[in-house]
Amino acid sequence: MKRAARRGSTSAVIAAAASLALAGAAFAQAPKYPTKPIRILVTLGPGSAGDNLSRVMADGLSRSLGQQVVVDNRPGAGGNVAAELAARAAPDGYTLFITTISTHGINPSLYGKLNFDPIKDFAPIILAASSPNMLVVHPSLPVRSVKAFIALARQKPGELTFSSGGTGTSQHMAGELFGMLTGTKLTHVAYKSTPLSINAVLSGETIASFASVSVVSGIVQSGKLRSLGVTNAKRIPALPDLPTIAESGVPGFAIAAWFGFSATGGTPEPIVNLLNGEMRKVLQDPPTRQKLAAQGMDVLDSTPAEFAAYIRSEIELWGKVVKASGARAQ
């Protein structure tokens, strides 16, 4: 019995050693990551809040990973063009996607059909930042407060136009939510990018926009646009004197664009975890945080699992808002 036990023990040791050897060989043969440039697909054009964040992230990752990380702008269909490209990419970690409130919150209910599954086709990496919008109007419009804007909208139902960087963006849904909560009718005009939507207000093509703070704060300071309120639930530190829309007569109004990063669904978990760690380092870098704060962005943080849960909750939340507002993608 003792000999049999010893033989069994010896066999177990040999088997364990063989298993470790095989594991070591497999590890040695596993491809390193990254060994070539990485691209980040961005849903909107240059100058948008998501584009600005992606470029900051690309710079930081390029230094920490030792490989070039490039931003690839693919605007269109409220971010669905870039999302579909990301969903169809090879699941190897070399194609990343700036995941937004539009593509992974609003669009699943706003569009009748998507050519990608926002849950199954993506591997969430990190919830990176949020950016409030502000209601801005052309200076020629005779209003200087949210209440005055509401009064004018009620006098002219459907006549007041607001522009956005695309159907399904936070700018678009801010306008829809505003109309729903105030009982007013604003007419939405979608443009191909955030800068184009701002130019529309500057030129008088539209009279208002719920634009990203990070994009229009400088224009407001120059006097070329007038800001009436921010869309956050609370006032933002960068603009402490600017009231929220909620405190200006629209209780319950709150919306902020959020941004995260995902890989294609099926990307190996070790790569996803590595990217999560490297992105956290970039976002925790003091100069980076200061740069993003100056753009009106709040730096966030999450694990891949936390971000995945957040996406599911946002799809549920915005599904209710879209249904209540009656908004549909054109």
> 135 - beta bridge partners?
210, 229
Tens digit of pLDDT per residue, the chain (330 long)? 434 444 444 444 444 444 444 444 443 444 689 999 999 999 988 888 899 999 999 999 999 999 999 999 998 888 899 999 999 999 999 999 999 999 999 999 999 889 999 999 999 999 999 988 999 999 999 999 999 999 999 999 999 999 998 888 889 989 999 999 999 999 999 988 888 999 999 999 999 999 988 889 889 999 999 999 999 988 888 788 999 999 999 999 999 889 999 999 999 999 999 999 999 999 999 999 988 888 778 899 999 999 999 999 999 989 988 888 777 875
Of 257, 225, 267, which Cα lies nearest the Cα of 242?
Answer: 225
Task: Report pLDDT for 144.
Answer: 96
Task: Report pLDDT for 99.
Answer: 97
Query: Whole-angstrom Cα distance, residue 69 to residue 93?
Result: 12
What is the reported pTM?
0.79
Task: Report pLDDT for 77.
Answer: 83
Task: Report pLDDT for 18.
Answer: 46
Query: Whole-angstrom Cα distance, residue 168 to residue 161?
Result: 16
Q: CB neighbours of 261 closer than 8 A, spacing ≥ 6?
A: 40, 57, 96, 97, 98, 99, 125, 126, 128, 275, 279
Task: Report pLDDT for 291.
Answer: 87
Query: Whole-angstrom Cα distance, residue 172 to residue 164?
Result: 6
Task: Report pLDDT for 6.
Answer: 40
Task: Report pLDDT for 165.
Answer: 84
Query: Whole-angstrom Cα distance, residue 43 to residue 100?
Result: 8
Task: Report pLDDT for 30.
Answer: 44
Domains and CATH numbers, the chain: 38-131+257-325 (3.40.190.150), 132-248 (3.40.190.10)
Task: Report pLDDT for 31.
Answer: 61
Maximum CA pair distance of the chain? 98
Residues 48 and 165: beta-carbon distance below 8 Å: yes
Query: Whole-angstrom Cα distance, residue 308 to residue 259?
Result: 13
**H or E segment to which residue 187 belongs:** strand 187-190
Q: Is 14 helix (H, G, I), strand (E, B) or coil?
A: helix
Residues 228 and 208: beta-carbon distance below 8 Å: no
